Amino acid sequence: MRPSRATIDLDALRHNYRHARALGGGRALAVVKADAYGHGAVACARALEGEADGFGVACIEEALELRESGIRAPILLLEGFFDVEELPLVERHDLWTVVATPWQVDALERHRASRPWRVWLKLDSGMHRLGLSPDEYLPAWQRLRALPWVDAMVAMSHFSRADELGHDSTRAQLATFDAALAQLPAGTPASLANSAALMAWPHSRRDWSRPGLMLYGSHMLDAPRAEADALRAVMRLESKVIAVRELAAGEPIGYAGTFTTTRPTRVGVVAAGYADGYPQYATSGTPVVIDGRPGELIGRVSMDMLTVDLTDHPAAGLGSDIELWGPRLPVADVAARSGNSPYRLLTGLKRVPLRYAGQGPFPATPPS
């Protein structure tokens, strides 16, 4: 059997959630969209249920997957509904929804609800993606508040550059958000912080936080923070050496000969490639872990295989364990070597079976 796999440490996930929630000081919505950033949404939500104040997903399909697997905790549609035909489903499955564009406000006004709704109204405080402009915000709030079946509302916004600790835009977004919040009734619950903001921008910590990436043990902060040091990697992507080549100096390795040996070299061929989600253009020198010790990728990554330098690892050989990212090797470090982000790498796994480890409750195998 192909030896590549990803092991998901659910204890680390719970540790990171507790850390995020403690930092925020309020309630924390665990963001499990995109199949929990590639970690398996159902397994992760089950591991957090009972602890997490709720879950954030990208769309109704993701919410229904959680409900169908028995998750009863609150679930928020982070982009709201895409179509009015989703509204009965939102209601039937007791989902919370973001409202982020004028047409969604109009649609809710036309809707006739049969149960109370909770709506998170999103302000565009400067990211200019989703959210109502500051001018649109208060009128939209008042229109929704006037609907008898809207029984609770949360004011929210999202940061574009919270991982850049020296950048002014987060401060500007905070000021824009607070100006809008000041026009709402006192005590209106608010939600701003994603992972980076939770760790690096204390003023963004409000009633609800929305950690995503940090739950999975990674971050993109551009300066050291103790808050990030406490995270534990959740995914370990691993494979094994399936062949060893002894090459003289001056020999090219792999497609396009991007690496030529400069000394007699022992090359380990590893059963993982870009079709598994490992970045195709990770450069020679990208870190790997060979039987627990730091090593390097050499040559271009191919579809199903990649090559590592075993020359300084005399005990390593056929069957050696290769960690491609995980507790010993931050996925962000691998991402940085290929112009990628940890978000992209974690959500990009394909073909690799997920295995779960850690204390229950969790399924022994990924739910189908």
Ligand X SMILES: Cc1ncc(COP(=O)(O)O)c(C=O)c1O
Of 59-67, 176-184, 208-216, 294-302, which segment contacts ligand X by CB under 6 A?
208-216
- By CB under 6 A, is residue 211 in contact with ligand X? yes
212 is an interface residue for ligand X by CB under 6 A: yes
342 lies in the binding site for ligand X (CB under 6 A): no
| CA dihedral sign, ordered 272, 273, 274, 280 | positive
Assess 240 for contact with ligand X (CB under 6 A). Answer: no
Contacting residue, 43, 75, 123, 213, with ligand X by CB under 6 A: 213
The answer to the question of residue 63 lying near ligand X (CB under 6 A) is: no
Identify the residue whose tokens are 């300084």: 312
Nearest approach, Cβ of residue 334 and ligand X (Å): 18
Buried b (16+ CB within 10 A) or exposed e, 342-365: bbebbbebeebebebebeeebbee
Whichever of 198 and 288 has its CB closer to ligand X, that residue is 198
Confirm or reject binding of residue 31 to ligand X (CB under 6 A).
yes
Segment contacting ligand X (CB under 6 A): 84-92, 132-140, 194-202, 280-288?
A: 194-202
Minimum distance of ligand X from residue 346's CB (angstroms): 10
Please state whether the peptide bond connecting residue 294 to the residue before it is cis, i.e. omega within 30 degrees of 0: no
First to last CA, the chain: 20
350 as an active site residue: the answer is no
Rounded to a whole number of angstroms, the minimum distance from the CB of residue 31 to ligand X is 4
Residues in binding contact with ligand X, number by CB under 6 A = 11
Asked if 210 interacts with ligand X (CB under 6 A), we say: yes
* Nearer CB in complex with ligand X: 211/254: 211
Nearer to ligand X, 129 or 351 (CB): 129
Q: Is 80 one of the binding residues for ligand X (CB under 6 A)?
A: no
Footprint of ligand X on 81-140 (CB under 6 A)? none
Question: What is the C-alpha to C-alpha distance for residues 290 and 313, in angstroms, rounded to an integer?
Answer: 8
Q: 16 is written with which tokens?
A: 């990171």
> Rounded to the nearest whole angstrom, what is the least distance from the CB of residue 43 to ligand X in the complex?
18
Annotated active-site residue 343? The verdict is: no
Catalytic hit among 33, 122, 137, 278: 33
Distance of closest approach, residue 163 Cβ to ligand X, in angstroms:
8
Q: Which residue is nearest to ligand X (CB)?
A: 212
d(CA 269, CA 244): 6
Contact indicator for 89, 65 with CB cutoff of 8 Å:
no
User: Looking at 37, 137, 255, 281, which residue is catalytic?
Assistant: 255
Q: Does 38 sit near ligand X (CB under 6 A)?
A: no
- In which region does residue 276 sit, left (phi positive, over 0), alpha (psi from -120 to 50) or beta (all else)? alpha
Q: Is residue 158 part of the contact set for ligand X (CB under 6 A)?
A: yes
Q: Which stretch binds ligand X (CB under 6 A): 4-12, 209-217, 266-274, 285-293?
A: 209-217
Q: Which residues are catalytic?
A: 33, 255
Q: By the criterion CB under 6 A, which residues form the site for ligand X?
A: 31, 78, 158, 194-196, 210-214
